[in-house]
Amino acid sequence: LVGSEMCIRDRSYVALSIVYTLIILMTLGKPAFSKRALSEVLVQALPLHVASLSGLFVGPVISTLLARHASNYEIGNFNVAGASLAPVNIAISAISVAALTTMPLINGNDLESKTSQILVYSLAISSAVIAGYAAVLAPLILVFYGSSYAKAPAYALVQLAGLVANALFTGFILGSFFVVMGNTKWNAVVGVIYATSTVASALVLVPLYGPLGAAASYAVGQLFSGLAACVVAMRLYRLRVDLASSVRFLAPAALAFALSYLASRSLSTRPFVSLFISGTTYLASYMLVLPLIAGKKRTENLVMIIEKLPYIGHLLKPLSDSYSKFVNALFFKSKEQPD
């Protein structure tokens, strides 16, 4: 079965490569060979390849450790936890791309100022998405997988904590930033740090705590890789991480998650009902608390970036327009209104 899946996947990659090649030839015509262009591509691409290769060792190492220190039941729950994180990973990738494309739209006259601001707003969106998904994760897993995988949410939440730590140091956006700046060797360095720290912590934690230790090792890898990317960006490009603004954006997400968790646990134990309660409580509380803690200007910039997200930004445009009017009417009434 695994061999069949890999065969199908490889054939899909080959088919897509042929299709993209034909599209390029039809659009741009016959390409001219350039040694200089080839050299530049290789210089930028090889470090990215190293970063990807370093990450390939993490999964097999952790799987081998789990096979020796965990039961099949625990391994099954751990695999479900990893699969449940796919929507978050997709969303973070979209946020990373959208953040860079909206840099010129953020207030500021120089690249350093714009980049520093976009780092904060990418953290804001990432933390909101991660916390929101964490709020509905437990009932969501029960709905799709059943009560046999009741341990999976705990493993997934630990890994989500690592994603939050990475977002705090703006590691997601900095990976794309290094590519844009033409200095991809730091992508390789960060990738190696992630793989090394994850594997090293797994060798210690998995024998002691099983799948929970494996989830924690992934979180450790995210923490160290995000920290490494942040240190490189601050020293080489003099980027400033605005911790005050970061806390202002993290606080509403954390508060909304706590409220949704308490509401779900207090009001219902049925998965579908808990899913509805958790989702609506998180969304309502986050949207209410965000402008109060982050402020009007930060909230407006955040809404503007969300509208530029690939694919979903256009769908969210009516909602974002209504939310902007709601914020202005409810929290920031004009001083010129009569008494």
Displacement of CA 333 from its chain's centroid (Å): 34
What do you get for the CA distance between the two ends of the chain, in Å?
73
Distance CA(220)–CA(2), nearest Å, equals 29
Neighbours of 136 (CB within 10 A): 22
Q: State the pLDDT at residue 99.
A: 62
The residue that leads in pLDDT, 100 or 46, is 46
> How far lies 252's CA from each of 6, 232, 246, 297, 305, in Å?
42, 29, 11, 16, 18
Q: State the pLDDT at residue 131.
A: 93
Q: State the pLDDT at residue 332.
A: 55
The two structure tokens encoding residue 155: 């493993």
Residue 12 has pLDDT above 80, yes or no: no
The two structure tokens encoding residue 221: 């890898």
Q: State the pLDDT at residue 240.
A: 76
| CB-count exposure of residue 110 (10 Å: 0-12, 13-18, 19+) | exposed
pLDDT in tens, 179-220: 777 788 888 999 999 999 999 999 999 999 999 999 999 999
**Count of H helices and E strands in the chain?**
14, 0
**One-letter amino acid for residue 117 of the chain:** Q
pLDDT in tens, 280-327: 999 999 988 888 888 777 888 788 777 766 666 677 777 877 887 777
Indicate the pLDDT class of residue 337, thresholds 50, 70 and 90: very low
The two structure tokens encoding residue 135: 């709020």
Q: What is the pTM of this model?
A: 0.80
What's the mean pLDDT in 70-95? 90
What's the mean pLDDT in 43-55? 78
Indicate the pLDDT class of residue 246, thresholds 50, 70 and 90: confident
Distance CA(131)–CA(261), nearest Å, equals 11
Distance CA(199)–CA(148), nearest Å, equals 28
Distance CA(225)–CA(207), nearest Å, equals 23
Residue 79 has pLDDT above 90, yes or no: yes
Indicate the pLDDT class of residue 108, thresholds 50, 70 and 90: very low
Distance CA(39)–CA(260), nearest Å, equals 53
3-class secondary structure, 102: coil
Query: DSSP alpha helices (H): ranges in the chain?
Result: 2-28, 35-56, 58-69, 72-84, 86-101, 111-145, 152-168, 171-180, 185-209, 211-236, 243-267, 271-294, 296-307, 312-330
Distance CA(215)–CA(183), nearest Å, equals 31
Q: What is the 3-state secondary structure (H, E, C) of 228-255?
A: HHHHHHHHHCCCCCCHHHHHHHHHHHHH
pLDDT in tens, 133-185: 999 999 999 999 988 898 999 999 999 999 998 888 877 778 877 877 778 88
Distance CA(307)–CA(243), nearest Å, equals 25
| Greatest mean pLDDT range, 9-18, 20-29, 141-150, 209-218 | 209-218
Residue 338 has pLDDT above 50, yes or no: no
Residue % of the chain over a pLDDT of 70: 81
Indicate the pLDDT class of residue 335, thresholds 50, 70 and 90: very low
